[in-house]
Structure 1
Amino acid sequence: MSFGDPNNPYGQQGQPGQQQPGYGSPQGQQPGYGYPQQAPQGVPQQGYGYPQQPGQPYGAHPQQQPGHGSGMPELAHWGLRFGGKLIDGLLYLVPYVLFAFGANSDGGAAPALTIVGSLGMLAIFIWQVIQEGSTGQTVGKKVVGIRLLRESDGQPIGGGMAFVRTLAHFLDNIACYIGWLWPLWDQKKQTFADKVCSTVVIKSQ
Protein backbone atom coordinates (compact mmCIF):
# COMPACT_ATOMS: atom_id res chain seq x y z
CA MET A 1 0.00 0.00 0.00
CA SER A 2 1.61 3.24 -1.10
CA PHE A 3 1.25 6.63 0.47
CA GLY A 4 -0.75 7.81 -2.53
CA ASP A 5 -2.97 4.73 -2.55
CA PRO A 6 -6.62 5.84 -2.61
CA ASN A 7 -7.39 3.05 -0.16
CA ASN A 8 -5.04 4.56 2.35
CA PRO A 9 -7.22 6.72 4.67
CA TYR A 10 -4.18 8.55 6.02
CA GLY A 11 -2.82 9.55 2.65
CA GLN A 12 -5.85 11.01 1.00
CA GLN A 13 -5.09 14.39 -0.52
CA GLY A 14 -7.59 17.07 -1.41
CA GLN A 15 -8.41 17.52 -5.03
CA PRO A 16 -7.05 20.65 -6.70
CA GLY A 17 -9.45 23.55 -6.35
CA GLN A 18 -11.46 21.80 -3.66
CA GLN A 19 -11.62 23.64 -0.35
CA GLN A 20 -11.37 21.52 2.71
CA PRO A 21 -13.72 22.41 5.54
CA GLY A 22 -11.93 23.99 8.44
CA TYR A 23 -12.50 23.40 12.11
CA GLY A 24 -15.84 24.77 13.26
CA SER A 25 -17.03 25.75 9.76
CA PRO A 26 -20.67 24.89 8.98
CA GLN A 27 -21.32 21.99 6.60
CA GLY A 28 -25.05 22.17 5.98
CA GLN A 29 -25.64 22.01 9.73
CA GLN A 30 -26.99 24.46 12.27
CA PRO A 31 -24.60 27.29 13.17
CA GLY A 32 -22.42 26.45 16.11
CA TYR A 33 -21.62 28.50 19.15
CA GLY A 34 -20.51 31.96 18.19
CA TYR A 35 -22.40 32.08 14.89
CA PRO A 36 -25.36 34.42 14.43
CA GLN A 37 -28.56 32.70 15.49
CA GLN A 38 -31.81 33.13 13.63
CA ALA A 39 -34.69 34.75 15.45
CA PRO A 40 -37.17 32.15 16.77
CA GLN A 41 -40.27 31.80 14.69
CA GLY A 42 -43.75 32.23 16.06
CA VAL A 43 -42.84 34.54 18.94
CA PRO A 44 -46.07 36.36 19.87
CA GLN A 45 -46.12 40.08 19.45
CA GLN A 46 -46.84 42.30 22.41
CA GLY A 47 -50.46 43.34 22.59
CA TYR A 48 -52.19 46.66 22.92
CA GLY A 49 -51.60 48.35 26.21
CA TYR A 50 -48.11 46.97 26.86
CA PRO A 51 -44.75 48.75 26.48
CA GLN A 52 -43.46 48.63 22.92
CA GLN A 53 -39.97 47.77 21.74
CA PRO A 54 -37.79 50.74 20.72
CA GLY A 55 -37.99 51.48 17.02
CA GLN A 56 -40.94 49.18 16.40
CA PRO A 57 -44.40 50.59 15.67
CA TYR A 58 -46.68 49.88 18.59
CA GLY A 59 -48.78 46.75 18.30
CA ALA A 60 -47.80 46.22 14.64
CA HIS A 61 -46.78 42.84 13.24
CA PRO A 62 -44.30 42.66 10.36
CA GLN A 63 -45.67 44.07 7.10
CA GLN A 64 -48.52 45.74 8.97
CA GLN A 65 -49.22 49.35 9.70
CA PRO A 66 -49.80 50.49 13.26
CA GLY A 67 -53.03 52.11 14.30
CA HIS A 68 -56.54 51.35 15.37
CA GLY A 69 -57.33 47.67 15.13
CA SER A 70 -53.67 46.55 15.11
CA GLY A 71 -53.51 44.40 18.22
CA MET A 72 -56.14 46.48 20.03
CA PRO A 73 -58.33 44.53 22.49
CA GLU A 74 -62.09 44.75 22.56
CA LEU A 75 -63.48 48.19 23.27
CA ALA A 76 -65.53 48.62 26.44
CA HIS A 77 -69.24 48.94 25.83
CA TRP A 78 -71.41 51.66 27.32
CA GLY A 79 -72.72 49.52 30.20
CA LEU A 80 -69.24 48.88 31.57
CA ARG A 81 -68.31 52.53 31.29
CA PHE A 82 -71.50 53.57 33.08
CA GLY A 83 -70.85 51.02 35.84
CA GLY A 84 -67.32 52.29 36.37
CA LYS A 85 -68.52 55.90 36.48
CA LEU A 86 -71.21 55.00 39.00
CA ILE A 87 -68.72 53.31 41.33
CA ASP A 88 -66.38 56.30 41.07
CA GLY A 89 -69.26 58.58 42.03
CA LEU A 90 -70.05 56.50 45.12
CA LEU A 91 -66.55 57.21 46.45
CA TYR A 92 -67.58 60.84 46.94
CA LEU A 93 -70.66 59.93 48.94
CA VAL A 94 -69.19 60.07 52.45
CA PRO A 95 -67.26 63.35 52.09
CA TYR A 96 -70.22 64.88 50.26
CA VAL A 97 -72.57 63.96 53.11
CA LEU A 98 -70.17 65.57 55.58
CA PHE A 99 -69.95 68.67 53.42
CA ALA A 100 -73.72 68.94 52.97
CA PHE A 101 -74.42 68.33 56.65
CA GLY A 102 -71.95 70.99 57.68
CA ALA A 103 -73.20 73.48 55.09
CA ASN A 104 -76.79 73.11 56.27
CA SER A 105 -76.15 73.10 60.00
CA ASP A 106 -75.77 75.90 62.50
CA GLY A 107 -73.89 73.89 65.10
CA GLY A 108 -70.36 74.55 66.24
CA ALA A 109 -69.00 71.59 64.28
CA ALA A 110 -70.59 72.69 61.02
CA PRO A 111 -67.56 74.60 59.65
CA ALA A 112 -65.24 71.70 60.46
CA LEU A 113 -67.52 69.21 58.71
CA THR A 114 -67.71 71.46 55.68
CA ILE A 115 -63.93 71.71 55.47
CA VAL A 116 -63.40 67.97 56.02
CA GLY A 117 -65.98 67.13 53.37
CA SER A 118 -64.47 69.56 50.87
CA LEU A 119 -60.92 68.31 51.41
CA GLY A 120 -62.12 64.72 51.22
CA MET A 121 -63.77 65.23 47.82
CA LEU A 122 -60.71 67.12 46.54
CA ALA A 123 -58.36 64.36 47.69
CA ILE A 124 -60.46 61.66 46.02
CA PHE A 125 -60.59 63.67 42.78
CA ILE A 126 -56.82 64.21 42.65
CA TRP A 127 -56.07 60.57 43.52
CA GLN A 128 -58.49 59.28 40.88
CA VAL A 129 -56.99 61.52 38.18
CA ILE A 130 -53.46 60.37 39.03
CA GLN A 131 -54.48 56.72 38.99
CA GLU A 132 -56.33 57.06 35.70
CA GLY A 133 -53.41 58.84 34.10
CA SER A 134 -50.71 56.45 35.30
CA THR A 135 -52.52 53.09 35.10
CA GLY A 136 -55.56 53.82 32.96
CA GLN A 137 -57.88 52.79 35.77
CA THR A 138 -59.85 54.58 38.46
CA VAL A 139 -61.38 52.50 41.24
CA GLY A 140 -64.57 52.10 39.23
CA LYS A 141 -62.76 51.15 36.02
CA LYS A 142 -60.70 48.57 37.88
CA VAL A 143 -63.79 46.99 39.44
CA VAL A 144 -65.64 46.58 36.12
CA GLY A 145 -62.48 45.62 34.21
CA ILE A 146 -61.90 48.47 31.78
CA ARG A 147 -58.95 50.75 31.09
CA LEU A 148 -58.44 54.20 29.57
CA LEU A 149 -55.56 54.37 27.07
CA ARG A 150 -54.17 56.62 24.38
CA GLU A 151 -55.61 55.61 21.01
CA SER A 152 -52.38 56.01 19.04
CA ASP A 153 -50.16 53.62 20.99
CA GLY A 154 -52.20 52.02 23.77
CA GLN A 155 -50.28 53.62 26.63
CA PRO A 156 -51.63 55.44 29.72
CA ILE A 157 -52.26 59.11 29.01
CA GLY A 158 -50.54 60.58 32.08
CA GLY A 159 -51.94 62.62 34.94
CA GLY A 160 -51.95 65.94 33.09
CA MET A 161 -53.87 64.60 30.13
CA ALA A 162 -56.25 62.74 32.44
CA PHE A 163 -57.06 66.08 34.08
CA VAL A 164 -57.61 67.70 30.66
CA ARG A 165 -59.92 64.83 29.69
CA THR A 166 -61.90 65.37 32.89
CA LEU A 167 -62.38 69.02 31.95
CA ALA A 168 -63.28 67.96 28.40
CA HIS A 169 -66.31 66.11 29.76
CA PHE A 170 -67.89 69.56 29.70
CA LEU A 171 -68.45 68.85 26.01
CA ASP A 172 -70.38 65.72 26.94
CA ASN A 173 -72.65 67.78 29.19
CA ILE A 174 -73.51 70.84 27.14
CA ALA A 175 -75.63 69.10 24.49
CA CYS A 176 -78.17 67.60 26.89
CA TYR A 177 -75.56 65.06 28.04
CA ILE A 178 -75.62 63.44 24.60
CA GLY A 179 -71.85 63.06 24.69
CA TRP A 180 -72.12 60.50 27.49
CA LEU A 181 -74.44 58.40 25.33
CA TRP A 182 -72.30 58.70 22.19
CA PRO A 183 -70.43 55.40 22.83
CA LEU A 184 -73.72 53.56 22.29
CA TRP A 185 -73.50 54.03 18.51
CA ASP A 186 -69.98 55.33 17.91
CA GLN A 187 -67.64 52.97 16.03
CA LYS A 188 -64.84 53.51 18.55
CA LYS A 189 -67.25 53.79 21.49
CA GLN A 190 -65.89 57.24 22.37
CA THR A 191 -67.45 60.14 24.19
CA PHE A 192 -66.83 63.67 22.94
CA ALA A 193 -64.07 64.00 25.54
CA ASP A 194 -62.43 60.83 24.18
CA LYS A 195 -62.47 62.20 20.65
CA VAL A 196 -60.95 65.51 21.70
CA CYS A 197 -58.23 63.81 23.76
CA SER A 198 -57.72 60.85 21.35
CA THR A 199 -58.41 58.21 23.99
CA VAL A 200 -60.25 54.90 24.01
CA VAL A 201 -61.61 52.70 26.79
CA ILE A 202 -60.89 48.99 26.39
CA LYS A 203 -61.72 45.82 28.27
CA SER A 204 -58.80 44.88 30.47
CA GLN A 205 -60.04 41.39 31.38
Structure 2
Amino acid sequence: MSFGDPNNPYGQPQNAPQGQPGYGYPQQPPQQGYGYPQGGQPGYGYPQQPGYPGGPGVPGAPRIASMGRRFGARLIDGLILFVIYFVLSLAGVAGSISAIKDCDPNASDYQSCVDDAASHMVGAVAAVVGALMICSLLYEWLMIGLVGATLGKMAVGLRVVKADTGQKPGLGSSIIRWVIPLVGSLACGIGQLVVYLSPFWDKSGRQQGWHDKAASTMVIQN
Protein backbone atom coordinates (compact mmCIF):
# COMPACT_ATOMS: atom_id res chain seq x y z
CA MET A 1 0.00 0.00 0.00
CA SER A 2 1.24 3.48 -0.93
CA PHE A 3 0.79 6.26 1.60
CA GLY A 4 1.80 9.01 -0.82
CA ASP A 5 4.79 11.25 -0.89
CA PRO A 6 5.93 12.25 2.60
CA ASN A 7 6.98 15.63 1.13
CA ASN A 8 3.39 16.26 0.06
CA PRO A 9 1.41 15.73 3.27
CA TYR A 10 -1.85 17.18 1.85
CA GLY A 11 -2.12 14.48 -0.72
CA GLN A 12 -2.55 16.83 -3.65
CA PRO A 13 -1.19 15.90 -7.05
CA GLN A 14 2.14 17.55 -7.75
CA ASN A 15 1.36 18.11 -11.39
CA ALA A 16 -2.03 19.68 -10.83
CA PRO A 17 -2.89 22.21 -13.58
CA GLN A 18 -2.73 25.87 -12.56
CA GLY A 19 -5.97 27.78 -12.09
CA GLN A 20 -8.22 24.69 -11.90
CA PRO A 21 -10.73 24.55 -9.07
CA GLY A 22 -10.37 21.92 -6.46
CA TYR A 23 -6.63 22.07 -6.13
CA GLY A 24 -4.38 23.97 -3.78
CA TYR A 25 -5.68 26.96 -1.90
CA PRO A 26 -9.16 28.30 -2.75
CA GLN A 27 -9.27 31.04 -5.32
CA GLN A 28 -9.95 34.57 -4.17
CA PRO A 29 -13.25 36.04 -5.41
CA PRO A 30 -12.86 38.69 -8.12
CA GLN A 31 -12.29 42.17 -6.74
CA GLN A 32 -14.95 44.79 -7.43
CA GLY A 33 -14.61 48.49 -7.57
CA TYR A 34 -12.27 48.80 -10.54
CA GLY A 35 -13.02 49.76 -14.13
CA TYR A 36 -16.63 50.04 -15.24
CA PRO A 37 -19.44 48.98 -12.90
CA GLN A 38 -20.56 45.37 -13.04
CA GLY A 39 -24.24 44.62 -13.17
CA GLY A 40 -25.25 48.25 -12.82
CA GLN A 41 -24.18 48.51 -9.18
CA PRO A 42 -24.09 52.05 -7.84
CA GLY A 43 -20.93 53.74 -6.69
CA TYR A 44 -18.67 52.83 -9.60
CA GLY A 45 -17.81 54.49 -12.87
CA TYR A 46 -19.27 57.85 -13.80
CA PRO A 47 -22.15 59.18 -11.67
CA GLN A 48 -25.51 59.48 -13.30
CA GLN A 49 -26.67 63.02 -13.92
CA PRO A 50 -30.16 63.73 -12.62
CA GLY A 51 -32.55 64.91 -15.29
CA TYR A 52 -33.64 68.54 -15.12
CA PRO A 53 -35.21 69.49 -12.86
CA GLY A 54 -34.93 66.24 -10.98
CA GLY A 55 -37.42 66.53 -8.19
CA PRO A 56 -37.84 67.58 -4.60
CA GLY A 57 -34.90 66.32 -2.57
CA VAL A 58 -32.79 65.30 -5.57
CA PRO A 59 -29.18 66.55 -5.24
CA GLY A 60 -28.44 69.23 -7.82
CA ALA A 61 -32.09 69.93 -8.55
CA PRO A 62 -33.09 73.61 -8.66
CA ARG A 63 -34.96 75.19 -5.78
CA ILE A 64 -38.61 75.68 -6.59
CA ALA A 65 -39.75 79.28 -6.14
CA SER A 66 -41.92 79.82 -3.10
CA MET A 67 -45.32 81.39 -3.53
CA GLY A 68 -44.29 84.22 -1.20
CA ARG A 69 -41.45 85.22 -3.51
CA ARG A 70 -43.64 84.90 -6.55
CA PHE A 71 -46.21 87.17 -4.95
CA GLY A 72 -43.48 89.69 -4.11
CA ALA A 73 -42.20 89.64 -7.68
CA ARG A 74 -45.72 90.13 -9.04
CA LEU A 75 -46.27 93.02 -6.66
CA ILE A 76 -43.10 94.78 -7.80
CA ASP A 77 -43.97 94.25 -11.46
CA GLY A 78 -47.47 95.57 -10.78
CA LEU A 79 -46.06 98.71 -9.19
CA ILE A 80 -43.78 99.29 -12.18
CA LEU A 81 -46.70 99.00 -14.61
CA PHE A 82 -48.86 101.18 -12.37
CA VAL A 83 -46.27 103.96 -12.50
CA ILE A 84 -46.27 103.74 -16.28
CA TYR A 85 -50.08 103.79 -16.33
CA PHE A 86 -50.18 106.75 -13.93
CA VAL A 87 -47.74 108.81 -15.99
CA LEU A 88 -49.57 108.13 -19.24
CA SER A 89 -52.96 108.83 -17.65
CA LEU A 90 -51.73 112.06 -16.12
CA ALA A 91 -50.44 113.21 -19.47
CA GLY A 92 -53.76 112.39 -21.16
CA VAL A 93 -55.94 114.02 -18.51
CA ALA A 94 -53.71 117.09 -18.39
CA GLY A 95 -54.06 117.49 -22.14
CA SER A 96 -57.86 117.22 -21.91
CA ILE A 97 -58.07 119.75 -19.05
CA SER A 98 -55.92 122.11 -21.03
CA ALA A 99 -58.26 121.75 -24.00
CA ILE A 100 -61.30 122.55 -21.81
CA LYS A 101 -59.59 125.64 -20.41
CA ASP A 102 -58.98 126.84 -23.93
CA CYS A 103 -62.71 126.90 -24.59
CA ASP A 104 -64.19 130.43 -24.40
CA PRO A 105 -67.29 130.50 -22.16
CA ASN A 106 -68.60 133.51 -24.07
CA ALA A 107 -68.28 131.86 -27.45
CA SER A 108 -71.32 130.40 -29.17
CA ASP A 109 -69.55 127.10 -29.70
CA TYR A 110 -68.48 126.76 -26.07
CA GLN A 111 -70.56 123.63 -25.43
CA SER A 112 -69.32 121.91 -28.52
CA CYS A 113 -65.78 122.84 -27.52
CA VAL A 114 -66.30 121.24 -24.10
CA ASP A 115 -67.85 118.17 -25.69
CA ASP A 116 -64.89 117.83 -28.00
CA ALA A 117 -62.52 118.12 -25.04
CA ALA A 118 -64.49 115.45 -23.15
CA SER A 119 -64.35 113.15 -26.17
CA HIS A 120 -60.64 113.80 -26.32
CA MET A 121 -60.35 112.75 -22.66
CA VAL A 122 -62.22 109.50 -23.30
CA GLY A 123 -59.99 108.80 -26.26
CA ALA A 124 -56.93 109.57 -24.18
CA VAL A 125 -58.01 107.10 -21.49
CA ALA A 126 -58.59 104.41 -24.11
CA ALA A 127 -55.18 105.16 -25.59
CA VAL A 128 -53.61 104.89 -22.15
CA VAL A 129 -55.24 101.49 -21.56
CA GLY A 130 -54.01 100.29 -24.94
CA ALA A 131 -50.54 101.62 -24.25
CA LEU A 132 -50.53 99.87 -20.88
CA MET A 133 -51.41 96.55 -22.50
CA ILE A 134 -48.62 97.01 -25.01
CA CYS A 135 -46.17 97.90 -22.25
CA SER A 136 -47.26 94.88 -20.23
CA LEU A 137 -46.87 92.63 -23.28
CA LEU A 138 -43.42 93.91 -24.13
CA TYR A 139 -42.34 93.90 -20.50
CA GLU A 140 -43.44 90.35 -19.68
CA TRP A 141 -42.96 88.80 -23.11
CA LEU A 142 -39.51 90.11 -23.98
CA MET A 143 -37.97 89.97 -20.52
CA ILE A 144 -39.23 86.48 -19.67
CA GLY A 145 -38.45 85.14 -23.13
CA LEU A 146 -35.00 86.66 -23.59
CA VAL A 147 -33.76 87.24 -20.02
CA GLY A 148 -35.79 84.71 -18.04
CA ALA A 149 -36.97 87.24 -15.44
CA THR A 150 -38.76 90.54 -15.08
CA LEU A 151 -37.43 93.30 -12.85
CA GLY A 152 -39.66 92.06 -10.04
CA LYS A 153 -38.35 88.51 -10.32
CA MET A 154 -34.78 89.77 -10.45
CA ALA A 155 -35.38 91.75 -7.27
CA VAL A 156 -36.46 88.66 -5.31
CA GLY A 157 -34.06 86.20 -6.95
CA LEU A 158 -36.40 84.28 -9.25
CA ARG A 159 -36.24 83.26 -12.87
CA VAL A 160 -38.41 81.37 -15.34
CA VAL A 161 -36.92 78.38 -17.18
CA LYS A 162 -38.07 75.60 -19.47
CA ALA A 163 -39.23 72.74 -17.28
CA ASP A 164 -37.41 70.06 -19.30
CA THR A 165 -34.08 71.76 -20.04
CA GLY A 166 -33.61 74.59 -17.57
CA GLN A 167 -32.93 77.03 -20.40
CA LYS A 168 -34.55 80.43 -20.98
CA PRO A 169 -38.17 80.08 -22.11
CA GLY A 170 -37.81 81.83 -25.47
CA LEU A 171 -40.34 84.12 -27.09
CA GLY A 172 -42.77 81.35 -28.04
CA SER A 173 -43.23 79.96 -24.54
CA SER A 174 -43.14 83.46 -23.07
CA ILE A 175 -46.09 84.71 -25.14
CA ILE A 176 -48.15 81.65 -24.13
CA ARG A 177 -47.31 82.26 -20.51
CA TRP A 178 -48.48 85.90 -20.85
CA VAL A 179 -51.69 85.20 -22.78
CA ILE A 180 -53.20 82.71 -20.30
CA PRO A 181 -53.57 85.22 -17.42
CA LEU A 182 -54.70 87.88 -19.91
CA VAL A 183 -57.59 85.71 -21.05
CA GLY A 184 -58.46 85.10 -17.41
CA SER A 185 -58.53 88.83 -16.73
CA LEU A 186 -61.47 89.23 -19.13
CA ALA A 187 -63.72 87.71 -16.44
CA CYS A 188 -63.46 90.82 -14.22
CA GLY A 189 -59.94 89.80 -13.26
CA ILE A 190 -61.15 86.74 -11.34
CA GLY A 191 -59.78 84.32 -13.90
CA GLN A 192 -56.40 86.02 -13.81
CA LEU A 193 -56.29 85.70 -10.02
CA VAL A 194 -57.18 82.01 -10.25
CA VAL A 195 -54.37 81.45 -12.77
CA TYR A 196 -51.82 83.08 -10.47
CA LEU A 197 -53.09 81.00 -7.52
CA SER A 198 -53.12 77.74 -9.49
CA PRO A 199 -49.57 76.70 -8.39
CA PHE A 200 -51.10 75.91 -4.99
CA TRP A 201 -52.99 73.00 -6.62
CA ASP A 202 -50.09 71.58 -8.62
CA LYS A 203 -49.34 67.97 -7.62
CA SER A 204 -46.03 67.66 -9.51
CA GLY A 205 -43.95 69.32 -6.78
CA ARG A 206 -42.85 72.07 -9.17
CA GLN A 207 -45.60 74.54 -8.25
CA GLN A 208 -46.44 75.17 -11.89
CA GLY A 209 -49.40 77.41 -12.58
CA TRP A 210 -51.74 76.80 -15.48
CA HIS A 211 -49.82 79.34 -17.52
CA ASP A 212 -46.56 77.52 -16.69
CA LYS A 213 -48.00 74.15 -17.71
CA ALA A 214 -49.29 75.58 -21.00
CA ALA A 215 -45.87 77.09 -21.74
CA SER A 216 -43.86 74.15 -20.31
CA THR A 217 -42.06 76.48 -17.90
CA MET A 218 -41.39 76.64 -14.19
CA VAL A 219 -40.22 79.31 -11.74
CA ILE A 220 -37.08 78.63 -9.69
CA GLN A 221 -34.92 80.48 -7.18
CA ASN A 222 -31.42 81.57 -8.11
Q: TM-score, normalised by structure 2?
A: 0.53
Change in Cα spacing, 1:191 to 1:103, as seen in structure 2 (3 Å) is farther
Point out the more displaced range, 96-105 or 125-134. 96-105
Point out where structure 2 has 5 or more consecutive residues left out of the alignment.
Answer: 1-45, 101-119
Deviations 1:106-146 (A, max 9, x none): 53396696557854663454144212111211000000100
Match status 1:135 vs 2:147: yes
Q: 1:163 aligns with which of 166, 169, 175?
A: 175
Point out the more displaced range, 110-119 or 165-174. 110-119
Match status 1:93 vs 2:82: yes
For 1:194, the equivalent position in structure 2 comes to: 212
Change in Cα spacing, 1:97 to 1:84, as seen in structure 2 (3 Å) is same
SS at match of 2:53: coil
Point out where structure 1 has 5 or more consecutive residues left out of the alignment.
Answer: 1-60
For 1:75, the equivalent position in structure 2 comes to: 64
What is the count of residue pairs matched by the alignment? 144
For 1:84, the equivalent position in structure 2 comes to: 73
Match status 1:150 vs 2:141: no
AA of the residue aligned to 2:65: A
Once residues 172 and 92 of structure 1 are traced to their aligned partners in structure 2, the CA distance between those partners, rounded to angstroms, is: 18
Match status 1:63 vs 2:52: no
AA of the residue aligned to 1:181: L
**1:82 offset after TM fit, Å?**
0.8
Once residues 132 and 209 of structure 2 are traced to their aligned partners in structure 1, the CA distance between those partners, rounded to angstroms, is: 28
- Higher Rg of the two aligned structures: 2
**1:79 offset after TM fit, Å?**
0.7
Change in Cα spacing, 1:98 to 1:65, as seen in structure 2 (3 Å) is closer
CA contact (8 A) 1:128 1:139 kept: no
CA contact (8 A) 1:86 1:140 kept: yes
Once residues 144 and 63 of structure 2 are traced to their aligned partners in structure 1, the CA distance between those partners, rounded to angstroms, is: 19
**1:83 offset after TM fit, Å?**
0.6
Once residues 193 and 120 of structure 1 are traced to their aligned partners in structure 2, the CA distance between those partners, rounded to angstroms, is: 21
Change in Cα spacing, 1:196 to 1:125, as seen in structure 2 (3 Å) is closer
Change in Cα spacing, 1:171 to 1:94, as seen in structure 2 (3 Å) is closer
AA of the residue aligned to 1:147: R
SS at match of 1:91: helix
For 2:10, the equivalent position in structure 1 comes to: none
Once residues 64 and 125 of structure 1 are traced to their aligned partners in structure 2, the CA distance between those partners, rounded to angstroms, is: 37
CA contact (8 A) 2:158 2:220 kept: yes
**1:86 offset after TM fit, Å?**
0.9
Computed over aligned residues only, the root mean square deviation of the Cα atoms, in angstroms, reads 3.2
For 1:108, the equivalent position in structure 2 comes to: 99
Q: 1:181 aligns with which of 193, 197, 216?
A: 197
**1:162 offset after TM fit, Å?**
0.8
SS at match of 1:92: helix
Deviations 1:35-82 (A, max 9, x none): xxxxxxxxxxxxxxxxxxxxxxxxxx8434524316321100111011
1:21-36 map, 5 Å: none
Deviations 1:8-35 (A, max 9, x none): xxxxxxxxxxxxxxxxxxxxxxxxxxxx
